[in-house]
Each structure stands twice: as structure tokens, then as C-alpha cells.
Amino acid sequence: MMRKLLATAALGALLLAGAPASAQEETPLPHLGWSFDGIFGTYDRAAAQRGFQIYNEVCSNCHSLDLLTYGDLTDLGFTLDQVKAIAAAKQVPDTDDSGQPIQRPALPSDHFVAPFPNVKAARAANNGALPPDLSLMVKAREGGPDYVHGILTGYVNAPSGFHLGDGMNYNEYFPGHQIAMPQPLSDNSVTFADGTPPLLDEEARDVVTFLAWAAEPRLEERHRTGLKAVLFLIAMTGVLYGAKRRVWSDVEH
């Protein structure tokens, strides 16, 4: 558990930050293709649920998701009873009827509970580093989901002759290839509730899918609205063209 806490502590910061330059050429970032790509893209609900499990069991030890409420999880296919149970496992500050501060189980209407009460506590627990919120992490870097997946799966041994700084780890896809964050995921990091084999690539794909949804939960609604608008414009173009032909038929002939 301690290894997972330390490994995830700097995830968001290191995804956003650069690294010392290296003479070695950058490794091209592969485009994997995601269910939510393109104008007809949708979220794979099963993958996103598994990704939430990874966030809940691993990433949430250090990173917040301030822009989401627990109730938002119903959009991923969780039942209201499941959401209530997920929320109730967390404690949030409140006041009682007399105005005294208390802690109570979270409700679906509450935002995701942050792992630390304040910035100073977060830094003190992570050797001075501040683990950032992950709500928009997939949109934070060029390459988006491919970049996040690459970082999570790009840990390999440094090639011969490569000088790796003290406390740094070699990552194929991180700029400069030197990253301070230890590998956060590996095979069998979690035991998926639906029985999916928890291999590293699957874990990375699933958590990326969840974070993509977290960054843009209304993507599918936006796509549907855009498609309706395009179909309306096509139909209206036909109507207007027919009206034009009728109105100007005498002049054209």
C-alpha cells in the first residue's frame, strides 16, 4: 500500500511538468484509438467503471477529483444504491443542528472527497510535492489519452549509456525520459470487480477512459446534439433548395 501511495503521489504533477532534456530522441507516442474518439465517440461504460475502481483504490490516495460529485457516477452505469455506498465510505465536514462542526458520511450530492484537508497537508505527505486534481488531466497535455496511457505503461529499463539521475525512473514517453514518479500501475494492481484480467495495459486503458469521462462527462450529449443539428441543416438545405427552384422556375425557363 505504501508503494502505491508513493507511486501515485506525483502522477498529475509529473504529467503536467517537463523533465530535464536528454540527448536521446523522443519516442513517438502511439495513437491507440479510443471508443470516445470522433464525432460518434461514446464512452465504454464497463471500462470506465473499472477505471473508477483503479482511481478509487489507487489514485484517490493522493489525487482529488474536485469537479465531480458521487452522483455523477450514475452516468457510468452505477446504480443509485451503489453510488450511495461509494459515497458513504467517505467522510465530509458538516455542522450539526447546533452549528457545531461534525464529520458525516458523504452523500451522492457531495463532491469527491479530497485525500488531504489542505495544501500543506498534501505537501507534507508527499515530500513537498503537491498532487494536483485529476478532473481535467486527460486534457492537460498534447496527446491527451494517448499521452496518459503512454506514461502509465512506458516504464522500462534505461538503455545502455543513458545517465539516469538519482531517484529518477526511465519512461519511454516522458519528455527527457526521466521521471521522478515510480511506476504507479503494474499487472494485478487491482482485482477488477467484473473479473477482467488486471494486466497493465488494460488497467491503463481503463483509468484513461474514466479520466476522459471525468474531463468531459457531457461528450456524448454534445455529439448527439451536433448530429441532430447537422441532420436538421441537411434537411433544411433540401427544403430551401426546393423552394428556390419553385419560386424561380418561371425565370429559369
Secondary structure of 167-232 in the HEC alphabet? CCEEECCCCCCEECCCCCCCCCCCCCCCCCCCCHHHHHHHHHHHHHHHHCCCHHHHHHHHHHHHHH
Angle at 147 between CA 142 and CA 151, to 5 degrees: 140
pLDDT tens per residue, range 23-41: 456 788 888 999 999 888 9
Angle at 169 between CA 160 and CA 173, to 5 degrees: 85
Average pLDDT on 229-237 reads: 78
Please tell me the pTM assigned to this model: 0.79
Rounded Cα distance, 4 and 52, in Å: 16
241: confidence class by pLDDT, cuts 50, 70, 90: confident
Highest mean pLDDT among 9-13, 157-161, 166-170: 157-161
The pLDDT of residue 25: 67
Rounded Cα distance, 194 and 45, in Å: 12
